[in-house]
Structure 1
Amino acid sequence: MSVDTASLRTSRGPVPRAERALAPDLARGAMLLIIAVANVAGVVFAGEPGLDATPPEGIDRGINFLLFELVHARGYPVFAVMFGYGLVQLARRQDTAGATHQQVRSVLLRRNFWLVAFGFAHAALLYYGDFLGAYGIVGIVMTLLLLRRGATFHRVVLVLWALTSAEILILGAIVASGIAGSGGSAPLPADHVDSLAASGYLASILDRLGEWPTHTMTVVPFIVIAWLGMWAARRHVLEELARHRTMLTWTAILGLGVAIAGGLPAALLSAGWLDVDKPTASLILMLHGASGMFAGPGYVAVFGLIALRVTRPGPVVGALSALGQRSLSGYLFQSVAWLLLLAPFTLALGQRLGNPTVSGLLIAAAVWLVTVLIAVRLDKRGQAGPAEIVLRRLTYGPRT
């Protein structure tokens, strides 16, 4: 049977919820809220990370603290883990359909090449901070070099994560020493993003065309995070939740523990509750980013434990799962919303509705809720998201 014409619903449309592992969809749907909150802050303040340049006051202190502890650099690792997990699932479904290894590789390469194209279009037309192009590049590398490796080889990723843990401990000790001996008052470093402050749409496109390659190359190293997802998928962690309960519990505790501890100095500094000199501030931001990767497996494990307790998905879990099945469409919808609602040359609502930090959060939550409602409506009709339909058609060709 040709892999392109295999009669699998998993390749052609949304799969009935009862036939899927709940945890991956639940994680993707919920984490799109964190992605929305993180991205909207960057758009409102035209910088990376999204942070008001003026000293925080009042409620902004608490919001900044929570953003740097739980959101900034802590959402995309979840999707990196799920990307690696999903690549193995897709290959496994094609294997089950009778495809040869060469046919499976052809499908995966074609899908990931199209993801790169999606990423370029997304960045050029909508938002510089695209991750789709990086996903596509990582997917190509993983398909060619990692997919068919044995269990022993895949344990290398655990060694890499252990080494990263040691690096974070060392960096944390250096940061603690810097804080103890620091007497400055430097803010967290933030890079200005020209496309987010552009005065016109054409100017923003030209800026993004220059920003996208650099941003994509800085994201590609998350292959180490995606590789962990691949390792977990080979062990069926999210399909066999009960068997992996202990692993999930410890992953949630340690993963989120490292992310929260490593993010604490940046959270305190962003809230105005910590004073340090400029070199220490730079190290604090480095520690924040490095520790954020541990939030990926940590958050995924939390949603796995939640799914383990769900015997009959209610409306909330069902809605999040529906969005998770259409996460690509939900992600792109957000970028359209930021362009229409927040850009300086459109409505610029983040700067017009009072407190920009609070306004951005409310807009992010509202946009995410709209995507949830749309996903639920599509789910009731048994329809995939529009972006998923296009990607499947490009990957598999027209139905036969």
Structure 2
Amino acid sequence: MQTTEAPVRGTTSRPTERALAPDLARGGMLLFIAMAHGTGTALSATPGLEPEPTGVEGPVNMFLLSFVHARSFPLFALMFGYGIVQLARRQERAGVDRRGARAILLRRSAALLALGALHGTLLLSGDILGAYGILGLVFTLTLLNRSDRVHRLAPWYLALAGAVIAAYAFFTLSAWGPGDSGVPFRADPAPKPETYGEFVGENVAHWPVQTLMFLSLIFMVWIGAWAARHRILENPAPHKRRLQTVAAGGLAVSVLGALPMSLLSAGLATTNKEAASWARMLYETTGTFGGLAYAAIFALLALRIGQRRGPVVNAVAALGQRSLSGYLFQSFAWLALTMPFAIDLAERSDSPLLVGLVCGIGVWLVTLTGAELLRRKRLRGPAEALLRRVTYGRARL
């Protein structure tokens, strides 16, 4: 078969061809991404927490650590791996051979890397698209077409992660004792850039470092690909019991793993610097299981909803289909709402944490509305359309 003559197909927007769970997961979890980025940019801290909480800020810190921070990106990495296999399978059904499908995936990954570089320098240094581009290139070249025997190894990463979590929990509890350590998070010691030029200059230096840090998500990408090979999200009914176990167990590990740091961040506990450092590593590592739990929860929701989709479900799924556009729009919003050379709402408030949280929710609602309007007009998101054109050129899709 000549690859150049084969029909190629991109991602589909037809409801009859799309599984609900992946779209629901992407659209719903963009809310948590918005909360994380909204608070992080407002406070210039990673994660976005109020270091000296008062009033409602303490419970908000706890909520963000337990359910949002370090729990959203693992879910999207899993969905990215799932999408790679879905796209490769769609090309195969269209008659494209493995070599041709791989070329398409490589072009798409290269386009994501280029888009990530622009996004990370012009809008948000914490960009993850560049890392997805690199991960897509690596996965497509090394793992995509390997046998089931190889892909069967992917879930064993969770056993390794579980062992690391157990060790971190042991060290945290062993070191726990009197002390006056503050909340263990990274705050930007430099003031926010006063001009857009300074902002871009800082991002040019920060983006490569951030991108390299995100490459550890390769294991979640691999688990997502393994799940796609078994069609777990597309056909959740046969996997219902497994999904229930992952949802309950993963969420328990995630919340309990974040508990020591949550207590510190809310001012409900104090400890020494050594224990606080271990608590942070415990919270970050257990985010992997939080991402898995959210994927399982959305799959179970999709199974329960079935074909009874109301307006809210349709809108969230529409945003999931246009998640790249929604993600990029968020970055425009943070630039406008939190930077000194723009509106800088956080500086005008006594609680940057709450301002960032409210902005996050508001921005997500705006993207939700926009996605629903595009759905009704049967239009793709602008970023999806651009990525599709770069990936497939002028081929009939």
TM-score category by the smaller chain? over 0.9
Structure 2 regions of 5+ residues with no counterpart?
none
Match of 1:371 in 2: 367
Task: Kindly state the Cα deviation for residue 58 of structure 1 after the two structures are TM-superposed.
Answer: 0.6
Alpha carbons of structure 1 residues 339 and 5: separation in structure 2 relative to 1, 3 Å: farther
Match of 2:74 in 1: 77
Q: How does 1:61-140 map to 2 (within 5 A)?
A: 61-140=58-137
Q: SS of the residue aligned with 2:155?
A: helix
Match of 2:165 in 1: 168
Match of 2:244 in 1: 249
What is the rounded CA distance, in whole Å, between the counterparts of 1:80 and 1:148 in structure 2? 19
What is the rounded CA distance, in whole Å, between the counterparts of 2:191 and 2:370 in structure 1? 27
Q: SS of the residue aligned with 1:156?
A: coil
TM-score under structure 2 length normalisation = 0.96
What is the rounded CA distance, in whole Å, between the counterparts of 2:251 and 2:146 in structure 1? 29
Q: SS of the residue aligned with 1:197?
A: coil
Match of 1:200 in 2: 195
2:229 corresponds to which letter in structure 1?
R
Match of 1:360 in 2: 356
1:120 corresponds to which letter in structure 2?
A
Q: How does 1:211-290 map to 2 (within 5 A)?
A: 211-290=206-285
Can you list the C-alpha shifts for 1:189-221, whole angstroms capped at 9, x where unaligned? 322347881111100101011001111111101
Can you list the C-alpha shifts for 1:30-71, whole angstroms capped at 9, x where unaligned? 000000001111101111111223x21110010001000000
Q: CA RMSD in A?
A: 1.6
Alpha carbons of structure 1 residues 203 and 2: separation in structure 2 relative to 1, 3 Å: farther
Residue 315 (structure 1) aligned to one of 298, 311, 315: 311
TM-score under structure 1 length normalisation = 0.95
Structure 1 regions of 5+ residues with no counterpart?
none
Match of 1:29 in 2: 27
2:56 matched to 1:51? no
Can you list the C-alpha shifts for 1:111-165, whole angstroms capped at 9, x where unaligned? 0011010110001100010000001111111101110111111121122210110
1:19 corresponds to which letter in structure 2?
E
Q: Contact 1:3–1:94 (CA<8 Å) still a contact in 2?
A: no
Task: Kindly state the Cα deviation for residue 253 of structure 1 after the two structures are TM-superposed.
Answer: 1.0
Q: How does 1:140-179 map to 2 (within 5 A)?
A: 140-179=137-176
Q: SS of the residue aligned with 1:199?
A: coil
Q: Contact 2:330–2:363 (CA<8 Å) still a contact in 1?
A: yes
What is the rounded CA distance, in whole Å, between the counterparts of 2:133 and 2:199 in structure 1? 24
2:10 corresponds to which letter in structure 1?
S
Match of 1:293 in 2: 288
What is the rounded CA distance, in whole Å, between the counterparts of 1:195 and 1:94 in structure 2? 48
Residue 388 (structure 1) aligned to one of 384, 387, 395: 384
2:341 corresponds to which letter in structure 1?
F
Residue 331 (structure 1) aligned to one of 321, 327, 331: 327
1:198 corresponds to which letter in structure 2?
P
2:162 corresponds to which letter in structure 1?
S
Q: Greater CA deviation, 390-399 or 299-308? A: 390-399
Task: Kindly state the Cα deviation for residue 3 of structure 1 after the two structures are TM-superposed.
Answer: 6.0
Task: Kindly state the Cα deviation for residue 4 of structure 1 after the two structures are TM-superposed.
Answer: 7.2
Task: Kindly state the Cα deviation for residue 399 of structure 1 after the two structures are TM-superposed.
Answer: 4.1
Q: Contact 2:165–2:285 (CA<8 Å) still a contact in 1?
A: yes
Q: Greater CA deviation, 83-92 or 94-103? A: 94-103
Q: SS of the residue aligned with 1:157?
A: coil
Q: Contact 2:117–2:130 (CA<8 Å) still a contact in 1?
A: yes
Can you list the C-alpha shifts for 1:87-124, whole angstroms capped at 9, x where unaligned? 00000000111111111110101100110101100011
Q: SS of the residue aligned with 1:149?
A: coil
Alpha carbons of structure 1 residues 3 and 66: separation in structure 2 relative to 1, 3 Å: farther
Alpha carbons of structure 1 residues 125 and 244: separation in structure 2 relative to 1, 3 Å: same
2:11 matched to 1:16? no
What is the rounded CA distance, in whole Å, between the counterparts of 1:130 and 1:116 in structure 2? 10
Q: Contact 1:195–1:205 (CA<8 Å) still a contact in 2?
A: no
What is the rounded CA distance, in whole Å, between the counterparts of 1:165 and 1:94 in structure 2? 36
Residue 306 (structure 1) aligned to one of 295, 301, 306: 301
